[in-house]
Structure 1
Amino acid sequence: MNPISSFDGSVYFTGMTMGLSLIVAIGAQNAFVLRQGLRNDHVFAVCLACALSDGVLITVGVTSFAAIAKLLPWLDPVMRYGGAAFLIWYGAKSMLAALSASGALEIGGGKSVSFGKTMATCLALTWLNPHVYLDTVVLLGTISTRFPGGQAAFAAGAATGSFLFFFALGYGARLLRPIFARPSAWRVLEAVIALVMWVIAAKLLFGM
């Protein structure tokens, strides 16, 4: 069957809705995108990297998540502990920034992080987070089986939802800049980000 001729608009919008519902909740990746948007620092590249990563994982989930789980039973513990370690480190870094009295986080001030370091952090927060795989590969992969013949439309809708969300979050953050023009507001944000990272790490380590 031609996948284009079988494209179902209702399944597409169902995929978009499901994709948005899974990524809207604040997490390590979303907190990072928000921070970059507020800083106006490599926003397009960060949003694009997150959206493309989701698109790849959604495609994998829709097409072959069950087979991957059977072939790589060791993947879950590796991703779980590796991701937790990274989140603990990143949370400590954010908390250190929150406790600092430096004005380095003021909008338009401070030293911009290099593109390479920014993208490395962005990709690590994405690909080392097991919850990303749970949402995209497992949950969306499972839901897509309810639409036999419409998996392509479902995957396209879910990927579209990711693009819409990340770019809206990254570029919409500028509306909050008047609030974050004060270094104290930045320190509060950094503290919140640190707590989010540590809570997620605890969930990974202790199965909460």
Structure 2
Amino acid sequence: MSDIETPATELKAQYAAQVAADLERNTKEQERISTEVAVLQKQLASLQSNQVMLANLQQTLGAESPAATSAEPAGSAAATAPVPRQALVRKTKSRNAAALKPAETAARNGTKAPTAAAVTKQPTLVELIRRHLGLQSEPRSAAEITTGLTQAHPDRDIKSKVVRVTVEGLVAKGSVQRAKQGNSVFYTTSKTPAADTPAKQKDPTTA
């Protein structure tokens, strides 16, 4: 009889130990979950508080519509202006400042801001050469023409080679006359009498 009860007692003790271990794990798991729930509840409460604050702020900003603010007195407009309006003012000022930059730069440099009409009215190189030669009392070389145009128009990039090609083109068209003296070539407008060219000009002392 005692031999039969001994295995049953041992099995009961094993079950009891297993139950105790499971109970302990259950208790620890509850404690862990309770801690996490407390943290989540704290986060939830914080989010709910922020939600209320944001909702009140949204309602306040929504009340400041353009129709409502237009009826406010002029003296209180600056004090009660909502944030979006201030941002709009800053954006408008920035856009106006960007538009004034060319004029301000020209003012600092002592020049006038270029306009579209001024750019389109600039004379061509052909016109500049013909005008320059027409003002001269004697023929000029390509280098002298380039120097004169550069001094008269410092804002333009005038190259000697381009001037030489252009004036030769005017010679081909008959607008400019060419005269060679030694190894140098001189140019004058076709309106200038032929006697004024270096090759045919008389010496005043021998006239």
TM-score clears 0.5: no
Provide the TM-score with structure 1 as the length reference: 0.21
Higher strand residue share: 2
Q: TM-score, normalised by structure 2?
A: 0.21
Larger C-alpha radius of gyration, 1 or 2?
2
Report which structure shows greater RCO (CA 8 Å, sep ≥6): 1
